[in-house]
Amino acid sequence: MSGWKDRIAGWFIDREFFMRANGQVRFLKISAQLQRRTAVTLASVIGIWLLVTVGMAINQMTVTAQRLALTEQEAKVESAEERVASYRGSIDEVTKDLERRQEMLESLGDQYLGDLSETEAQAPAASADSRAEEKAVKTISAMVPEAAGLVRIEARQIRFAEKMTKMAQARTVKAEAAIRQFGLNPEILARRARNAQGGLFEPFFGKGKKDVRDPRFLNLAAALGRMDAMERALAAIPTAMPAASMMMSSGFGYRSDPFTGGGAMHAGLDFKGPVGTPILAAAKGKVVLAGFNGGYGNTIEIRHANGLVTRYAHLSGLNVRRGQMVDRGVQIGRMGSTGRSTGSHLHFEVRLNGQAINPRKFLEANPDVLKVQTVAGNRADSAAKE
């Protein structure tokens, strides 16, 4: 112990410094006692700061835990006793609520899951929640015999909601995997989709009625919302060939400039073909530019979902106007050599949030990914028509 004290005491000894200025020498002395006091003060300040920081972190964790606990409590599944009280309170009100919920479930099924295969449509295996629900049905039927038919309808609705949730989650996983194949981040696309929502608040069960917070229906709404965002984002990725010509004359990235011969960045792909060759929209979107654009010549830009934009340049003619909505694969213009061009070709760009990215990975997507994208696009088109 004394060895440590001696070592620490050796850190603090009287120190003298001298400074020479204008031919004069001055001495500055810092005593060991002053050094110890300064060190103790600094250590105290650091210690207090650490204690405050740790305390704030613990408090934040406590608040977060309390919020989670409150959320779980609010979203808990109603017990059989609580549901018995609801049925005894007003059979007519429960009947109306169940009828409205049934209409909602049927509408969601037609809108989101109307193109299921037989394998997807098979009912999921019984879960612990399903067995608990069957027990609740028996309990409520025994205690409120006149509500037996209604409680069985509610049980079927809950099972259907759970089934739809699992299907939506499975389709979301497929869409996310397909988006990653294109080198895009599905989480960023999902956030962009959630940031573009709004509307007045209208309670689902009408004014003055109890807010139904069964987590199984809340989970269904969340799962369908994410699935819809992912499939719409996937459908908007430009994967259709932009020209009726497969001859690529220049790739993306560094190249020798065709005019100066110097090193230059080429922000897209060039497709060579005769003047007048049809130019096609690579994905569904809105025309945001249709006209002359400097070195690009006659240009068309189409804005797709989630920050994606495609650009078609050096055209000899335009078939669309600004503000027009176009579908994937429709003719939007004709190949040419306007602007800074050495011959008839299409300059095709894909930009994400203004940044040029290589279009080749979109145009060369594997068939499995394109199949998932096609299914997503068909569903998105059907939902838009409804």
Residues 23-65 pLDDT 10s: 666 666 677 777 777 777 888 888 888 887 777 777 667 656 6
Q: Over range 285-308, report the average pLDDT.
A: 93
**According to the model, what pLDDT value does residue 45 have?**
80
Q: How far apart are CA 122 and CA 103, in angstroms?
A: 21
Instruction: Give the confidence band of 116 by pLDDT, cuts at 50, 70, 90.
Output: very low
Q: Where are the beta strands (DSSP E) in 243-360?
A: 248-250, 253-256, 263-266, 269-272, 278-280, 285-292, 298-303, 308-318, 325-326, 331-335, 345-352, 355-357
pLDDT of residue 125: 47
Percent of residues, the chain, with pLDDT higher than 70: 58
Burial zone of 249 (CB within 10 Å; 0-12 exposed, 13-18 middle, 19+ buried):
middle
Condensed to tens digits (0 to 9), the pLDDT of residues 364-375 reads 765 666 667 666
pLDDT digits (tens, 9 = 90+) for 324-345: 999 989 999 999 999 999 999 9
180 pLDDT exceeds 80?
A: yes
Which range has the top average pLDDT, 123-127, 153-157, 213-217, 356-360? 356-360
pLDDT band at 88 (very low <50, low <70, confident <90, very high): low
- For residues 325 and 284, what is the distance between their CA atoms, to the nearest angstrom? 8
Question: What's residue 211's pLDDT?
Answer: 46
Give the single-character DSSP code of 14.
-
Q: Which of 323, 334, 253 is nearest to 287 (CA)?
A: 323
Q: What's the chain's length in residues?
A: 386
Model confidence, pTM: 0.58
Mean pLDDT of 338-361: 91
Q: What is the mean pLDDT of residues 83-99?
A: 64
What span, in angstroms and rounded, lies between the C-alpha atoms of 206 and 189?
A: 33
Is a pLDDT exceeding 50 seen at residue 82?
Answer: yes
The whole-angstrom separation of Cα 83 and Cα 146 is 14
Alpha-carbon span 135 to 130, nearest angstrom: 9
State which of 34-43, 84-93, 191-200, 310-319 shows the largest mean pLDDT.
310-319
Span of 120-124, 153-157, 164-168, 237-241 with lowest mean pLDDT: 120-124
Q: Tokens 């719409």 map to which residue?
A: 232
Spatial contact of 239 and 282, defined as CB atoms under 8 Å apart: yes
pLDDT at 208 over 50: no
Q: Is the pLDDT of residue 292 over 90?
A: yes
Closest C-alpha to 343, from 264, 255, 270, 294: 270
Residue 376: how many other CB atoms lie within 10 Å:
25
Q: What is the pLDDT of residue 239?
A: 84
What pLDDT score was predicted for residue 315? 97
* 318, 333 Cβ separation under 8 angstroms: yes
Q: Is 208 left (phi over 0), alpha (psi -120 to 50) or beta?
A: left
Q: Does residue 124 register a pLDDT over 50? A: no
